[in-house]
Amino acid sequence: MKFFPRANQIGLALVSFALLSSLLGVSPARAVPGPNAPVANSDSLFNSESLSAPESLGRIERNEVKAARAHLVANAAGWGVNPLEYQAAEAVSLAGGISAVRFTQFIDGVEVANSLLAITVTSNGALLSYTKATSDFSQETKAPITQEQAMSSLVKLLANENKISPEQVSISKMELVIVDDALVDDVPFGKYLAWRATTSISGSLTSLSLSYLSADGSTVLSTLPYVRGIAEDPFVCDMQFDVGNPGYVHQLGLIEERYGNRYVNISSGKLGYPLCRKDNIGLGAPETEIAKANIIRTWDYFSSVLGQDINAEAYLGNITSDLSITNEAVPRISAFVNVCATNGSAYACPYENAFWVPWVSPDCQSKACSGIFLGKDFDVADDVIAHELAHGVSFAIAFNSAMSETSETYALSEAVSDIFGEAMDQLNVTEGEAPDPNWILGEDVQAGGIRSLKNPQIARIDKNWIARDGHDNNGPVNKLAYLLANGGKVGKTNINPLGTVTNDGLCNSTDECTGISRMSQLVFATTSKLTASANYFDFGKQMVIACSDFANNNTDGFNKATCKNVASALKAQGFTSFKITRTTKLGSVSRGSKTVISAKASGTTGSPVVGQAMSLQIYRGNKWVTVKTASTDGSGVVKFRAKWGRSTTYRVISKTNGGIFSATGKTARVRVR
């Protein structure tokens, strides 16, 4: 269950995470009236020009697909296929660097169920083999009934078959397909049109099945259960677009102004934030497709690299409390594009930012919803979308409390989102994409990008650090991630990448960029160990521990040498430095009297070092001897209780994690009378 701690104390809108430093101040300098406002020329700010999304390959997109496509065209006659009928569905990496590119067959735009043309190529694109399982279907491809009629028929048939009420049957992904009994198991003999849908009994995810319905809706041809990870397509709505389907409604939480533009109130208010649902205006509008594709790419990164299903209710998925709206009990990510925003007084249309926010609402089954909101053109920025979605993940596992925008916690939260956003972008190469060696976030939405992970404004933690906005102070963490993924040098310290680094700046296969994948895994493991008030020092310490965990577990790519390299990077970036101050000066005490010696541990930025093991030492026999141990409290203070039998010199020190985190306080003298 998704639960946001302290919801009642914080209020309806708990916290929002924007890409830029301010959600909404005054109307941005480049803001202009919304799409429905009267303008002097016919060019609309929200014009209908669409950008073609890159062909999705299910995993990381590769150049091998281009080679496979070329072989398909060149060998079509010999293979007995029409190359125009095939769309790339997935590229699978195999041992030895070879790849199998899987194509799906479409006849007159209708998918042939379970069809496959697999073309296997070498790493340099040479053809190795091909496997074909296709159909020669040549009949009419127009269905005799509509999709709505097919859904209604399937609901009734399944309800009767299972002896349940129609309201208990959930249907999604209803689509017309071509069935060839040679390709699809447990269906009647022949080649024919049919309706294919994902079906389930409401509230029972284990009942999830794939059903085939006859083209005329009269007969259930087959219903085969399958149980696997659920990754439903997100619900993406265009805030300014009216879909004319009957029964569609306006989302709650939207405000309309006199020109008819819709705004989300980012200061929340009584209505909360809008949730993109199945029955909402703007769902599936033309300008939602790119955002939807980029959300799916982000899901894929988290799934394939980090093993996390961000569509799960625990992260970003919303299950509508009223199941009659969605007809399903599976989670969906909610997103809006073409967002306009207001804080109740100032209005920005277009809204030149993007953000993710959770809120408490009965709209969602868990009583808590979340979603991402993208201003104009932000839908094309895959790294920005991944950044915002990553906030939902880090919120669920670590940063689940309100925080100051100048706090180190806020900087860490922004950094983690930057890192996952840019890592996803680097690992997903689209056709014609240029290398991005500086790891610039938001280059697709703003000239010059928004910020660079390689060359951030604040590159490391040092004595010159001051409290700034977290979007600036995330720089040291961003730079650390870049170094661990790509290698580099900080001062005199050489830092090795955690894995392979591509030669041409483009990750055309996963094997070329294991440095990015391993860095991602380490950052995620580190984040999972952080509290909701973590600071830089906490991050550094937990990264050392996370690396040791991987090494001790023999996780691929991690060993003692790896962790030594990580420690060097952390030290070079200033994460391991701290100091011990304010050691109690006892002066003269009575023999045998009880005393308390305290000291304070703080990082370079002045933040308290919490939970750090400390030692009280005395100078005896020409060496320092530890006599007491304790750990710092929530304010970074440690206290030792001691009795003194003779005069001596003492100090407070700390040396943990193999000496990575070390500091020594000033010495003091106790005189026993």
DSSP symbols for 418-487: HHHHHHHHHH-PPTTPPP-TT-EETTTTSTT-SEESSS-SS-S-STT-----HHHHTHHHHHHHHHHHH-
pLDDT surpassing 60 at residue 28: no
Regarding predicted confidence, which is higher, 73 or 49?
73
Whether residue 257 contacts residue 217, with contact meaning beta carbons closer than 8 Å, is answered with no
Residue 456: what pLDDT?
95
User: What is this structure's pTM?
Assistant: 0.67
pLDDT surpassing 90 at residue 664: yes
Average pLDDT across the chain, whole number: 81
Read off the pLDDT of each residue in 65-87 and give the average, rounded to a whole number: 90
Read off the pLDDT of each residue in 505-527 and give the average, rounded to a whole number: 90
Whether residue 563 contacts residue 569, with contact meaning beta carbons closer than 8 Å, is answered with no
Residue 487: what pLDDT?
97
- C-alpha 277: how far from chain center: 21
pLDDT surpassing 50 at residue 373: yes
Residue pLDDT, tens place only, 113-164 = 878 787 877 777 888 667 777 888 999 999 999 999 999 999 999 888 878 8
Residue pLDDT, tens place only, 325-350 = 555 677 889 999 999 887 667 788 88
Tokens of 620: 């005896």
Angle separating helix axes 536-552 and 560-572, nearest 10 degrees: 170
Residue 59: what pLDDT?
33
pLDDT surpassing 90 at residue 578: yes
Residue 41: what pLDDT?
31
Residue pLDDT, tens place only, 384-441 = 999 999 998 888 888 766 567 888 988 999 999 999 999 999 999 888 888 999 999 9
Whether residue 571 contacts residue 660, with contact meaning beta carbons closer than 8 Å, is answered with yes
pLDDT surpassing 50 at residue 312: yes
Regarding predicted confidence, which is higher, 8 or 254?
254
